[in-house]
Amino acid sequence: MPLPVHLQLARQIVDTLKSICEHDINYIDTHGKICASTDSTRENEYHEGGLRAARTGEVVTVEKDDPELGVRRGINMPIRYHGDIVAVIGITGEPEEVRQYAFLAQRITRLLLREHEIELQDRSNRSQTGYLIRCLIQNEAVNPVFMKEVLKSNGIENRQGSWRTVVLQVANSEDASNLPGLETDLFHRFDRIGHSLFAYFYPDEFVLIVRDEMLKKQENLLHSLAEKYQGKLHIALGSAGKLTEQHASYHFAKLGIAAMPKEINLVSFEDLDLEILLAETSRGAAEAYLQKTMSALEAEDKSLLEAYFLRDLSLKETAEALYLHKNTLQYRLNRIRERSGYDPRAFRDAMVLYAGLKLEKTIGLK
């Protein structure tokens, strides 16, 4: 079956050949239609010589111009690809002069067609891989034969062992297109890991499913990504488990992103504790808890509490991190106590407020 060629590729082919031989080039389909030409006035015209070349499989030479019939001298070479004639390349000019470019034109056209074919195969593989990943993380049924084929196309012969889902989410609700080169960068990096599946889900999420042992060997890769895209990309590792259990791993990775402190952009399931318990709290109970404990606090108060708890209730370290005088920090903590009824410096009250902060972030997952 002939390789489908879109107009953009046909134009790329004629422009590339034109740059080499400086003669007008026509890309003619197997029905004799000029799809693309360096002489734009000829596009969509019928080309009798091109049709004959496509039907006979032989080079057709036109020795003289015939203005009335719209015929111009030159040569028309059939292009075979995988045994099929897929197109005809016409080079306009004195036949003896342009014939010297025939072999080169055929070779370049085949190379461009091959490049196009690889791109189509890559797109198809990415589409199938994305579908499989979506089924795995959403716990949907998937055809075993299809799964085996997709795994094999990604270099995975054995699906046994421990796997883990990594979620990479663009920060601040941005579209991934706002970070030029991000998708290419991630695909390039994760290709090096091996034994993995990787896909982009519009508008802001990338998902990697990888053997846990391979991920541990490439631990520095995630740290380098977190450093390079600090403030732009949130990265979370889910729990380890069977390949068919990645819906749970994905859930915990999403939970990790939701619970991620502002100053950090890489977390692992092993970093989660209270979040796991809070994620199972009913929405009604969660809303009642937040109404009682957090509703009187402003965003500035909650941001201060996050910094305070992250530094284990150290007044000195928190004041330094926030560039506040220690007395100013004390004043703001007192204000939080007055507004909420809970004192962040008292262990029990601090636990209540800490749980409230965590709960606010996890409730959005319900």
* Domains contained in the chain, CATH given: 7-116 (3.30.450.40), 154-272 (3.30.70.270), 278-365 (1.10.10.2840)
> Would you say residue 269 has pLDDT above 50?
yes
CB 62 within 8 A of CB 71: yes
Q: Which sign does the torsion angle of CA 108, 64, 48, 52 carry?
A: negative
Say how far apart CA 94 and CA 105 lie, in whole Å: 16
pLDDT, mean of residues 153-176: 86
Q: What is the pLDDT of residues 297-334, one digit of tens each?
A: 999 999 999 999 999 999 999 999 999 999 999 999 99
The mean predicted confidence, pLDDT, of the chain is 88
CB 255 within 8 A of CB 276: yes
pLDDT, mean of residues 143-166: 90
pLDDT, mean of residues 164-174: 85
> Would you say residue 41 has pLDDT above 70?
yes
pLDDT score at 366: 43
Q: What is the pLDDT of residues 328-356, one digit of tens each?
A: 999 999 999 999 999 999 999 999 999 99
Q: What is the pLDDT of residues 230-263, one digit of tens each?
A: 888 999 999 999 999 999 999 999 988 887 877 7
Contacts of 165 (CB under 8 A, 6+ apart): 137, 207, 208, 209, 237, 238, 246, 249, 250, 253
More confident residue, 174 or 228: 228
Phi, psi of 238 (to 5 degrees): -80, -170
Does the global pTM surpass 0.75?
A: no
Q: What is the pLDDT of residues 73-112, one digit of tens each?
A: 999 999 988 888 989 999 999 999 998 888 888 888 888 8
**In residues, how long is the chain?**
366
Q: What is the SS3 assignment for 271?
A: helix
Q: What is the SS3 assignment for 260?
A: coil
pLDDT, mean of residues 147-160: 89
Phi, psi of 80 (to 5 degrees): -95, 140
Ordered alpha helix ranges (H), the chain: 7-21, 48-56, 95-98, 102-137, 144-153, 182-191, 212-217, 219-228, 246-258, 274-278, 283-293, 299-310, 315-322, 326-340, 347-362
pLDDT score at 190: 86
